[in-house]
Homo-oligomer: A and B are copies of this chain.
Amino acid sequence: MGWLRQWYLLVGLVLGSTGALAYDEVVEKQVFELPSFKTVGGRTIRNLRVGYESYGRLNAAGDNAILVTQYFSGNSHAAGHYAGEQKRGYWDAVIGAGKPFDTDKYFVLSVDTLANLNTRDPHTVTTGPASLDPDTGKPYGLRFPVVTIRDFVNLQKALAEQLGIRHFAAITGASMGAMQAMDWAATYPAMVESIIPVVPAGAEADPYLIATMHLWAAPIRLDPNWNGGDYYGRAEPLAGLAVALQQVTVNARSPAWARSGFARRWAQPAANPLESLDNPFAVEQWVDEQALARARVSDANSFLYLTRAVQLFQTSGEGMGNGRIKARVLMIPARSDLLLLPEYSRRSVDRLMAQGVPLDYFELDEDGGHVDGLVSIAKAGEVIRRFLDH
């Protein structure tokens, strides 16, 4: 089907720029629907809908695709901007024409997960505990099935097949996205040429990460408005969700971030923290405000489902396959990461090397903590470009 590719290139030339039909940085959320989806846990989700975005064009062979998988509190808005909006996708620095994930060469796809956190964000489309259960016409709440990283992967695979993708040149993602990339390579090795896990957790959730997710989830259950997950249509557990998101916010940052951004300043110059417990430091106030703003667009139950998905993450094990990865791997941890510790990556690297997997390793040498996987991704740009050109 090379003729089709030639035709696209020709049209591009006729229109005066290869960018004309290519990715112009204005993106639109699209929706993938499935009448029925079976989870790893054996449950069925009906009338499933998730959002996705794509940048660039799929070639006729269906083999120039790159999948970008989403992080815990993110969605599929990885690059570009919506018409009439300024805000860029979180990896816009590395996705686009001439950028490391080059949309002149690749068809870059990004998909909202199940139980996505941002249920009140108009640009997120997801199916999760806040969705209506077709059996009852009411929100699922905790009746929604437990979902896993493997379920996210299987759903992406169904979408990929519908779009005509036969092979991924690369699958990449940050944090929980890196889990999906690892799981893809372990589960569907024939479809994956390479993976680029960024600020990754390794090949499974470390038991200490299971404990960390437990800490994240606990404040939600503490909020009386949570009410066993049955809160839709009444007062929602906003305060508990905000405290949960405070942990996400701080755990993903670093001492250098706090020192340079806030030092030991007080929130209000006239309100000395020595005088009252109600007088916070500046960093405390910022964390409160940031977390509350995120809580307002998020769903508490979905937060609980995502923490469980992270805990259950395992590329191999009973019912999960042997976890053998054949893809080339470029692993990109962040030196200052206090959440998905570089030691998780190193353990995984040792294991992959022992299995003979071709492995490149590049440590983001920044001071920002876990969020360097998002905000400092450009520092890995040339490494990514060389890896993809291999």
A184-219 vs B, CB cutoff 8 Å, 1 = contact: the mask equals 000000000000000000001111111110110011
A276 touches B146 (CB 8 A): yes
A237 to chain B, nearest CB (A): 10
B259 touches A206 (CB 8 A): yes
Distance, CA A199 to CA B232, complexed state (A): 46
Contact partner, A273, options B142, B146, B341, B343, Cβ 8 Å: B146
Contacts of A182 in B (CB 8 A): none
B214 touches A343 (CB 8 A): no
A224-B224, A277-B304, A277-B305 in contact; A246/B214 too (CB < 8 A)?
Answer: yes
Number of identical protomers:
2
Task: List A residues 297-345 near B (Cβ within 8 Å).
Answer: 304-305, 308, 311-312, 314, 338, 341, 343-344
Contacts of A274 in B (CB 8 A): 40-41, 146, 148, 312
Contacts of A257 in B (CB 8 A): 208
A231 to chain B, nearest CB (A): 15
A40-B274, A146-B276, A277-B305 in contact; A258/B219 too (CB < 8 A)?
Answer: no
Query: Which of A152-160, A247-255, A380-388 lies on the face that meets chain B?
Result: A247-255
A263 interface contact, C-beta 8 A? yes
B338 touches A283 (CB 8 A): no
Contacts of A304 in B (CB 8 A): 277
A330 to chain B, nearest CB (A): 24
Contact partner, A222, options B212, B219, B276, Cβ 8 Å: B219
- Between A and B, 8 residue pairs with Cβ closer than 8 Å are A41-B274, A41-B275, A146-B276, A211-B287, A214-B287, A219-B222, A273-B311, A277-B305
